[in-house]
Amino acid sequence: MKKGKGQLLFRNALLDWFGANQRDLPWRRTYDPYHIWVSEVMLQQTQMERGVEYFNRWMERFPDIRSLADASEQEVLKAWEGLGYYSRARNIRAAADVLLAEYGGVVPEDYAALLALPGIGPYTAAAVMSIAFNQPYPVIDANVERLFARIDNVARPMKEKAVYQNLEKILATMLRTAPPRDFNQALMELGALVCRPRNPLCGECPLGTQCRALAAGTVMQRPVLPPRKETIDIVMACAILKHNGKFFIQQRRSDDVWGGLWEFPGGRLKNGESAAQAAARELYEETELRAVNLDPFRTVTHHYTRYRVTLHAFFCNISKVPEPRLHAATAFRWVALDELDRYPFPSGHRQLIAHMKR
């Protein structure tokens, strides 16, 4: 993009477009810093429609920082259930404690103070500073990266240090004269609605005359992506232990990826082991309970980060009910089928519960 007049034209065209086309999103009605913070964290790795649904439910349940700090981790995880990356929910809850103790339950208008809160990194801190407090902090998400990769026809990955720093510099310059809240949102909105990853709407784009990729015919080659990380397949098995009409569930330790969530005991298959053998072994290793009458139930698949998990589930019984000794969990319950929904589970286990209800 050309400096000076070029940036001015860019800014004006962008802001005009945003004024006429921005979506009516719930957090845009008040720009409350708590709303902006939660929405930004929720929308990472989440589609907008789904994010709005979770956001509205969350704000009904936790309308302010005090109600969030007063809630148990279980309640917070339940409200987050299905969004994945559960450390984000635990961090929001932990940050609410700090905000209540140190800032009277108010989100501070201070970049360094925001960065010091659990789970808030440079992106979220900049988003809160600019969108909630209208301060000139560049906010660079995937939409903004893609938009600039095309506008400037950048032939290198946007995450490359020098490329990224250059983008930060351009945005910082433009933010000297642009209204930060609208400018940053406009960039993200245009990237999401018009300069889309596939099928960009170049014919409707307010920046078309300045777009170098459009002129060069390289729109679909931009942004240049770094080499894709391979998906890793994992095969797991779990034991759905039933006794007297109730099911055994256990709560994962807080230091692991699904910490604080509940599950049916299980784990990865070892070399040469069948899924049924793995389910029985994992049950014993994790609880010292011995499965009998193992019966195949369902196989489900789900994804998290780079992993594709195939989970084989087996119903089973135990001959007698000694007290389990937990080796991979912090708590256990025997729960009726219709009570399982009260507990937060990882995706694969939720799929199993849905099948059990059918």
Positions marked catalytic = 40
| Min dist. Cβ of residue 24 to ligand SF4 (A) | 22
Q: How far is CA 281 from CA 240, 294, 310, in A?
A: 13, 12, 18
Select from 158, 207, 249, 291 the one that contacts ligand SF4 (CB under 6 A). Answer: 207
Smallest gap from residue 45 Cβ to ligand SF4 (A): 23
Handedness of CA 151, 156, 159, 163 (dihedral sign): negative
d(CA 83, CA 88): 10
Structure-block tokens of residue 331 = 């708590």
- Site pattern 208..227 for ligand SF4 (x: CB under 6 A): x--x-xx----x--------
What is the size of the binding site for ligand SF4 (CB under 6 A)? 15
Please give the Cα distance from 2 to 281 (Å, whole number).
Answer: 65
If one asks whether residue 202 binds ligand SF4 (CB under 6 A), the answer comes out as yes
- Asked if 119 is part of the footprint of ligand SF4 (rule: CB under 6 A), the reply reads no
**Interacting residues with ligand SF4 between 276 and 335 (CB under 6 A):** none
Which range of residues in 12-20, 116-124, 130-138, 193-201 is near ligand SF4 by CB under 6 A?
193-201
Minimal distance, residue 181 CB to ligand SF4, in Å: 21
239 lies in the site for ligand SF4, by CB under 6 A: no
Stretch in the footprint of ligand SF4 (CB under 6 A) among 20-28, 200-208, 258-266, 293-301: 200-208
Select 21 or 135, whichever has its Cβ closest to ligand SF4: 21
Question: Which of positions 40-99 make contact with ligand SF4 (CB under 6 A)?
Answer: none
Q: Which is nearer to ligand SF4, 43 or 207 (CB)?
A: 207
For ligand SF4, the binding residues in 140-179 under the rule CB under 6 A are: 147, 150-151
200 contributes a contact to ligand SF4 by CB under 6 A: yes
What is the contact surface with ligand SF4 in residues (CB under 6 A)? 147, 150-151, 194-195, 200-202, 205, 207-208, 211, 213-214, 219
